[in-house]
Structure 1
Amino acid sequence: MNRRLPLMLKELSECYRSKAFEPLAVTEQTLARAKNLKELNAFIRTTPTKALHQAEQSVQRYKQGKPVSILDGAPIAVKDNFCTKDIHTTCASRMLQNFVPPYNATVYDRLERSGAILIGKTNMDQFGMGSGTVDSIFGATKNFWSESLRGTDFRIAGGSSGGSAVAVASGVCFAALGSDTGGSTRNPASYCGVVGFKPTYGLLSRHGLVPLVNSMDVPGILTRTVDDCAAVFNAIAGPDQHDSTTVKKPFDAILVSEVDRISLKGLKVGIPVEYHCDGISGEVLSTWSKVADMLEDAGATVKAVSLPYTSASISVYSILNQCEASSNMSRYDGIEYGHRSDENSSTEQLYARTRAEGFTAVVKNRILAGNFFLLRKNYDTYFQKALKVRRLIANDFDRAFREVDILLTPTTLSDAPLYEEFTKSHNRDQCAVQDFCTQSANMGGIPAISIPIKLSEKKLPISLQLMGPSFSEKALFDVAKWIEAQVQFVECYLDR
């Protein structure tokens, strides 16, 4: 089967219905493509046996004229911090290298029930601690848009969901799940030229997502188009009895408007002045300005707004991230599951050796920092104060959304850096830079979407981000789809 696969889920479903393609043949082709693109290191493991079994079931449903959804027969990938029953879930760490969950994460379970076909589990920074997908025991993931893939002469994929972004960008799958704690879906989406979506906190279940920062973690979605992103979101959103943080109100599917029916007249778009920050590239600035002008020409009102606590958000995010991470990492003690050291003569030594062997320096540093902030003598000075400033950051968004409907910002400050440039800095320093425009949305719990706009002079994707008030997913999808139609970035893939 040599024909190019469609770029969108809707087109794929129509091909299945018309019998132009069959799910089994498409699955075989995507597995072969994953194997041919192994050098990108997007996958920790592929799942051919499961994928082919799911594809055969999908074939039967289409023959009976009873596909269960638009996702029926669509190849997808899942970041390796989502539990998948009887399939290894490693978090790219030695600590969980041999862990096989006995249950599915809710979001993956819902995708499976929708007929999606799991191609494999994708690479990531260990336990989601990073913004490059370079800190994995399985090696770094390489950006699909890299000029070269030789040695260390490649572009990073972004992180920590870089494997999922590359899997989608390279055409191995139509959609992928990531997780987003401070931009870990939107950051790699920006660098890899795909759509990256972080929903309102509580609309997607976190059950089965290995936790990093419970108060900020959300499942994220990566696709090539906005319509595909909405389709996946509709399939997995809604209350979950296994997750008390999900919104209890029943979820109504979002219908994204057709492009010719999307009107921007009356739309108020905010440009946060604080996002004009040090280190932002001229190309990102010009792209930001161009899209703002595009929206204004279409009838939207574009105005400057202020989010004054933006300058404090990285410090606050760092403290809260490390505090919650240190708490979450305490469960890995070598007793119940995960790696267990063979060198021990006491319970205390078992804990110490297991954690010394299972965690990398990045994870250890965050645990130590978090424990320091949570010491009784430091608790009020750091953790409590960070919580108070987090509330002020959320209040910034509340005030801004009284003036405007959505915010338009960069996603990342530049196009994808070279691996050698990126790894010269400390992991924590890189996260502070790379997540500048994304992490505050997690502290506010608001939805955000990254959309690819153009290729830079280096032929690398440049993306922008839309943010809206809680539960404004419909508006974000509509505006993002309108921008997508104007810039036509998806055509860039036709030459790849």
Structure 2
Amino acid sequence: MKRHVNLTIKQVTSCYADGSLNPRLVTDYALEDSSQLKSLNIFTKLTPETALHQAKESAFRYETKDPKGPLDGIPIAIKDNFCTKDVVTTCASKMLENFVPTYNATVCQRLFNAGAVLLGKTNLDQFGMGSGTVDSIFGPTKNIWSENLKEEGKFRIVGGSSGGSAVAVATGITYAAIGSDTGGSTRNPASYCGVVGFKPTYGLVSRHGLIPLVNSMDVPGILTRKVDDLALILNTIAGPDDLDSTTFKREFKPINLPETADIDIRNVRIGIPKEYHCEGLSDEVLEAWVEIADLLQSEVASVEQVAMQHTSASIFVYSILNQCEVSSNMARYDGIEYGHRADENSSTEELYAKTRSEGFNRVVKTRILTGNYFLLRKNYHDYFEKALKVRRLIKNDFDQVFSEKVDVLLTPTTMTDAPLYSDFVSQSNRDQCAVQDFCTQPANMAGVPAITIPIKLSKKGLPIGLQLMSKNLSEETLLKVAKWIEGKVGFDCLENNQIYNARKD
């Protein structure tokens, strides 16, 4: 294993500063690794010229003792539904396979301003509609933890839709990656790949330049191997943005996490929502859940069971609202202004129809049709309006439990460890999302921050993660508890996986 790969971001930049490492060398290694691990199908587009140029500029800043900050020279990856200037942004779709934005998403621009090095754009389910990173025009992304990476259909899925970003981090190619999270699309793959995945409070991080899926739930997400690294990325990208009216207007106060030994959780109230102990939850995930609850209680943290009675309805409400907003957002892709255009000139209506038929896969088309059905005048009240009302009740569950009983909720992230690809695709996208997103999507419905951290390996040698949620804008408390647990369990993604030994092609 290359000696720099398992360092934290802060350690890497310290090495840059003292000259023991160089941004150009680290970027060269990252590009080399991405080539050697190309069979995992992590990237939709590598950007070696951009990366080497940014790394060269970073190296010069360190030589002149003028680095931009704690991310200067750090290789990162960005999910391919964030606009990147002069770099193709496809959403893993035929519709946008040749779309080259003229601007950077705010998240991307802030990272570049901080000196981060863009290694490439990562694979996803088409337009973010999925929980496996299997529905992409570039093919599925493979989980590095798979027992069998070469036999057709026998590899493990990575989760989705930010699967490429999760594997970029899990393999050590990048130190951090940006994903998006609409119903768990950052936390789900993070759990399956043994990394940290974070969804901030809605409005804390700008959505400008994130190609929308569900405007009322989408947030940029962060994937790293350590909670400290996550905090550095969050400090860089969070805060108000004049280009996004949904962001909070007050300035973001950077989070400075103490050392694990200095984190005091004795006054933190932990809630265990009983509704998350649901059908389909594996014994091993349940066991990990109980172990961490017991660990927290052993440190005098208050741990108690709580009730969130509308949890069981949440996945149905999420599905309805998701498809309604999808049907609205996808209307912009008509073959006229940008994106794929069909070879059709008989009429405008035929052009629209053929363009959309060719440009969208079955999953996207199904969600558009279903959303339009829910929004028909005769169905609007029975589906969309009622779903909005139940969403309010779900949010009220969170508001009540945080205001009256607990500071942080501890739940599973996924029901099981990572499924086999062949088993996953044997069920429909809709059915898989209903299962895979059960524990994660309520946080998006309520807009609260949530994080998943790796806890242990299953009997199959696959990662198991657990999720923490807290009230709006309580990221600091959430990350402190997450870091405390991380320090206690001692899970190391790269050492456990040994990817630079037996598993590298």
Distance 1:139 1:344 in 2: 31
SS in 1 for 2:256: coil
Task: For residues 220-243 of structure 1, give each alpha carbon's deviation from its aligned partner in whole angstroms, at most 9, with x where no partner exists.
Answer: 000000000000000000000000
SS in 2 for 1:303: strand
Tell me the equivalent position of 1:244.
Answer: 245
Tell me the equivalent position of 1:176.
Answer: 177
Please state how far the C-alpha of 1:493 moved relative to its aligned partner.
2.5
Tell me the equivalent position of 1:225.
Answer: 226
Tell me the equivalent position of 1:57.
Answer: 57
SS in 1 for 2:303: strand
Kept in 1, the 8 Å contact 2:77–2:177? The answer is yes
Distance 2:495 2:185 in 1: 23
Report matched runs for 1:100-115 at 5 Å: 100-115=100-115
Please state how far the C-alpha of 1:5 moved relative to its aligned partner.
2.5
Kept in 1, the 8 Å contact 2:199–2:449? The answer is yes
Tell me the equivalent position of 1:486.
Answer: 488
Q: Give the AA of the match of 1:163.
A: G
Tell me the equivalent position of 2:67.
Answer: 67
Distance 1:251 1:491 in 2: 30
Q: Give the AA of the match of 2:486.
A: E
Kept in 1, the 8 Å contact 2:6–2:172? The answer is no
Distance 2:495 2:437 in 1: 26
Mean Cα displacement is larger for which, 374-383 or 144-153? 144-153
Tell me the equivalent position of 1:441.
Answer: 443
Kept in 1, the 8 Å contact 2:225–2:493? The answer is no
Report matched runs for 1:200-279 at 5 Å: 200-279=201-280
Please state how far the C-alpha of 1:88 moved relative to its aligned partner.
0.2
Report matched runs for 1:23-42 at 5 Å: 23-42=23-42
Please state how far the C-alpha of 1:6 moved relative to its aligned partner.
3.7
Q: Does 1:336 align with 2:340?
A: no
Root-mean-square deviation (CA, aligned residues, Å) is 1.0
Distance 2:297 2:88 in 1: 49
Tell me the equivalent position of 1:320.
Answer: 321
Kept in 1, the 8 Å contact 2:4–2:12? The answer is no
Please state how far the C-alpha of 1:252 moved relative to its aligned partner.
0.9
Kept in 1, the 8 Å contact 2:335–2:351? The answer is yes
Distance 1:323 1:67 in 2: 46
TM-score, normalising length: structure 1: 0.99
Distance 1:491 1:312 in 2: 34
Report matched runs for 1:95-494 at 5 Å: 95-150=95-150, 151-401=152-402, 402-490=404-492, 493=495
Q: Give the AA of the match of 2:163.
A: G
Distance 2:320 2:63 in 1: 54
Gaps of 5+ in 2: 500-505
Please state how far the C-alpha of 1:18 moved relative to its aligned partner.
1.2
Q: Give the AA of the match of 1:411.
A: T
Q: Give the AA of the match of 1:196.
A: G
Q: Give the AA of the match of 2:296.
A: L
SS in 2 for 1:26: helix
Kept in 2, the 8 Å contact 1:344–1:353? The answer is no
Q: Does 1:89 align with 2:89?
A: yes
Distance 1:132 1:5 in 2: 26
Task: For residues 44-72 of structure 1, give each alpha carbon's deviation from its aligned partner in whole angstroms, at most 9, with x where no partner exists.
Answer: 11100000000000001001111111110
Please state how far the C-alpha of 1:343 moved relative to its aligned partner.
2.6
Q: Give the AA of the match of 2:55.
A: A
Please state how far the C-alpha of 1:141 moved relative to its aligned partner.
0.2
Task: For residues 95-129 of structure 1, give each alpha carbon's deviation from its aligned partner in whole angstroms, at most 9, with x where no partner exists.
Answer: 00000000000000000000000000000000000
Distance 2:359 2:345 in 1: 14
Distance 1:335 1:474 in 2: 45
SS in 1 for 2:198: strand
Task: For residues 195-219 of structure 1, give each alpha carbon's deviation from its aligned partner in whole angstroms, at most 9, with x where no partner exists.
Answer: 0000000000000000000000000
Kept in 1, the 8 Å contact 2:171–2:494? The answer is no
Distance 1:256 1:126 in 2: 36
Distance 1:233 1:139 in 2: 30
SS in 1 for 2:52: helix
Aligned-pair identity in percent equals: 65
Distance 2:196 2:420 in 1: 22
Distance 1:269 1:2 in 2: 39
Q: Give the AA of the match of 2:94.
A: R
Task: For residues 162-198 of structure 1, give each alpha carbon's deviation from its aligned partner in whole angstroms, at most 9, with x where no partner exists.
Answer: 0000000001100000000000000000000000000
Kept in 1, the 8 Å contact 2:344–2:351? The answer is yes
Tell me the equivalent position of 2:503.
Answer: none
Q: Give the AA of the match of 2:327.
A: S
Q: Does 1:18 align with 2:13?
A: no
Distance 2:52 2:99 in 1: 23
Distance 2:168 2:125 in 1: 15
Q: Give the AA of the match of 1:481.
A: K
Please state how far the C-alpha of 1:4 moved relative to its aligned partner.
4.3
Kept in 2, the 8 Å contact 1:7–1:224? The answer is no
Q: Give the AA of the match of 1:95.
A: M
Please state how far the C-alpha of 1:491 moved relative to its aligned partner.
6.2
Query: Aligned in 2, Cα 1:49/1:372: closer, same or farther, shift over 3 Å?
Result: same
SS in 1 for 2:110: helix
Task: For residues 287-344 of structure 1, give each alpha carbon's deviation from its aligned partner in whole angstroms, at most 9, with x where no partner exists.
Answer: 0000000000011011000010001000000000000000000000000000000033
Mean Cα displacement is larger for which, 114-123 or 261-270? 261-270
Q: Give the AA of the match of 2:367.
A: R
Please state how far the C-alpha of 1:2 moved relative to its aligned partner.
5.1
SS in 2 for 1:94: coil
Kept in 1, the 8 Å contact 2:240–2:247? The answer is yes
TM-score, normalising length: structure 2: 0.97
Distance 1:50 1:204 in 2: 25
Tell me the equivalent position of 1:46.
Answer: 46
Kept in 1, the 8 Å contact 2:85–2:104? The answer is yes
SS in 2 for 1:44: strand
Distance 2:49 2:344 in 1: 37
Q: Give the AA of the match of 1:407.
A: L
Distance 1:40 1:80 in 2: 16
Distance 1:224 1:491 in 2: 7
SS in 1 for 2:304: strand
Kept in 2, the 8 Å contact 1:106–1:206? The answer is yes
Kept in 2, the 8 Å contact 1:238–1:246? The answer is yes
Distance 2:6 2:117 in 1: 16
